[in-house]
């Protein structure tokens, strides 16, 4: 069975029991699906996820050891940050993209404001984005940016 056409990428949140096994099962059942691990808090969590087939790592924070491990293994790493210093720290540590989390605390205008002095930032807003407000995020091209980043990463790797 193929993954639905609409569903091409999936982040599996790592706080569920036996998360690494779930990643393995998803990769086995849907080989064309890009599967990532979420809630990666340290290098050991990153290792377990990658060993079971995770193709990218996501976290609400920017754990230096997990970022370094993901980079060492050639896996896209998307750590989380909210404030400018946290975002720049994540980029310095080697983040491919920074998860702006929780984005709803600041809103789309904040994303625009971050891009003004730092146009090189690749930010992916999450947390509090819903059907009711997604149009506001599209207005600042946030979701288009993330889609483009993931496509570029897939072609590169």
What would the pLDDT profile of 107-127 be if each residue is shown by its tens digit? 999 988 998 888 888 888 888
Q: Where does residue 5 rank: exposed (0-12), middle (13-18), buried (19+ CB within 10 A)?
A: exposed
pLDDT, tens digit, 9 for 90 and up, residues 43-60: 999 999 999 999 999 999
> Is the torsion defined by CA of 38, 41, 43, 44 positive or negative?
negative
3-state secondary structure of 29: helix
Q: Between residues 37 and 139, which one has the greater pLDDT?
A: 37
Q: List Cβ<8 Å contacts ≥24 apart for 3-7.
A: 3/30, 3/32, 3/33, 7/33
Residue 2 — very low, low, confident or very high, per pLDDT cuts 50/70/90?
very low
What does the pLDDT read at residue 112? Answer: 86
Query: Which value, in Å, is the radius of gyration of the alpha carbons in the chain?
Result: 15
* CATH no., domain 1-78: 3.20.20.70
Residue 145 — very low, low, confident or very high, per pLDDT cuts 50/70/90?
low
Residue range(s) of every CATH 3.20.20.70 domain in the chain: 1-78
Sheet holding 34-38, edge to edge: 9-13, 34-38, 56-58, 76-78
Residue 143 — very low, low, confident or very high, per pLDDT cuts 50/70/90?
low
For residue 153, give Cα distances in angstroms to 7, 22, 104, 117, 131: 17, 23, 26, 25, 27
What does the pLDDT read at residue 14? Answer: 52
Of 14, 38, 40, 28, give the one whose Cα is nearest residue 126.
Answer: 38
Whether residue 148 is predicted with pLDDT greater than 70 in this model: the reply is no
Indicate the helix (H) or strand (E) that contains 46. Answer: helix 43-51
Catalytic residues: 11, 99
What does the pLDDT read at residue 116? Answer: 86
Q: Between residues 35 and 91, which one has the greater pLDDT?
A: 91
């Amino acid at each position: 069975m193929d993954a639905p056409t609409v569903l091409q990428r999936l982040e599996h949140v790592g706080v569920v029991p036996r998360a690494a096994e779930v990643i393995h099962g998803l990769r086995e059942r849907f080989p064309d699906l890009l599967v990532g691990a979420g809630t990666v808090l340290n290098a050991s969590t990153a290792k377990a996820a990658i060993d079971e087939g995770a193709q990218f790592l996501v976290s609400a924070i920017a754990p230096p050891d997990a970022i370094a491990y993901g980079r060492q293994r050639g896996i896209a790493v998307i750590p989380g940050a909210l404030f400018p210093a946290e975002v720049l720290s994540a980029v310095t540590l080697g983040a491919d993209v920074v998860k702006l989390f929780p984005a709803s605390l600041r809103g789309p205008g904040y994303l625009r404001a971050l891009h003004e002095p730092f146009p090189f930032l690749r930010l992916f807003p999450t947390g509090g984005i819903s059907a009711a407000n997604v149009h506001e995020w599209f207005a600042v091209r946030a979701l288009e940016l993330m889609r483009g980043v993931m496509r570029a990463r897939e072609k590169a790797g």
